[in-house]
Structure 1
């Protein structure tokens, strides 16, 4: 049987849309301000003259001891497909069965996470245009459950926006930007 779901993971997208513990909220807001200031002060007509290294969150996802099997069960409960492999940087295939990086989702939305022992180390997303109401509803419910049960927030470092995953209105606001 041919595999239909082969998510693409670009190294530059690692933790760019990140799900982290709520306790990091103040740190994230402070970092957003620092990034905005640096961007405004280093902007040129061709990009930026400075870069910003974000560093580690004060409270790591790993420290929350979210079990890999818990997250897998949550995602498959909302019909997210388990990827057997990941297309890494468009030239290498990672094995999700034996490797530390896992992927669950749909062709247009993937939850990636890396693991250490039986725990989740980091969680990040890859999102393209959402065109199915049913998939959008499943994504919203999965994100809300993750927010409620594990007290998580979503930080989109690309847009410098923070969303509390315990708040369905904030989840709607975030996902609405991906509707076609």
Structure 2
């Protein structure tokens, strides 16, 4: 799904006049964060590697003293997450079984509030790690992650076990488009390699 489709997808979720408890877990993401660290079906490995190579080549050619002279628009995954028919209630139960907090609201682009209870975008996690997903009826449509600094071994283990369960049961991989790094979530060693970059 393209970015503009996602922005239209969010319109029904936006609510500017929400008040919530200051102690409430309220994750946030910016427009540019959407599917930037993405969890997708493992069948997309070849496509991801090809796209990563194309991005890397374009970045090398268009690098300037001030950044990059060109941008690359990623194509849609050949095998979409929606096509796998992962049920929302399965994802929610898996995440709450691992003691992830279910968000009632999401801060979007800082000034807007999305309602997770009535809207199509959901979030589970804690202050420095959130799994977001959007939905299409009872199915999960897209999954992405926001990750900060992991501050303890128990937290590292919890995130690793959660991602491994999703990877093993749903055959998912994680692609970090920021670093063009691909990790198979069915292998704990690969998850740990990724998470160690965020561990203090």
Please tell me the TM-score bracket, short chain as reference: over 0.9
What stretches of structure 1 move > 4 A for 4+ residues in a row?
Answer: none
Kindly report which structure 2 residues correspond to 1:117-156, keeping only aligned pairs within 5 A, or say none: 117-156=137-176
Q: What is residue 99 of structure 2 aligned with on the other side?
A: 79
Q: In the alignment, which residue of structure 1 is the partner of 2:10?
A: none
C-alpha root-mean-square deviation of aligned residues, in Å? 0.9
* Matched residues, number: 180
Structure 2 partner of 1:169: 189
- What is aligned with 2:126? 106
Q: Name the SS for the 2:131 alignment partner.
A: strand
Q: How high is the TM-score relative to the length of structure 2?
A: 0.88
In the other structure, the counterpart of 2:47 is: 27
Please report how far the alpha carbon of residue 92 of structure 1 lies from its aligned counterpart in structure 2 after TM superposition.
0.6
Match of 1:95 in 2: 115
Name structure 2 gaps, 5 residues minimum. 1-19
2:136 corresponds, among 116, 126, 147, to 116
The residue that corresponds to 2:17 in the other structure is none
Within 2, Cα distance between the matches of 1:65 and 1:44? 43
Q: Which runs of 5+ in 1 are unaligned?
A: none
Displacement of 1:132: 2.0
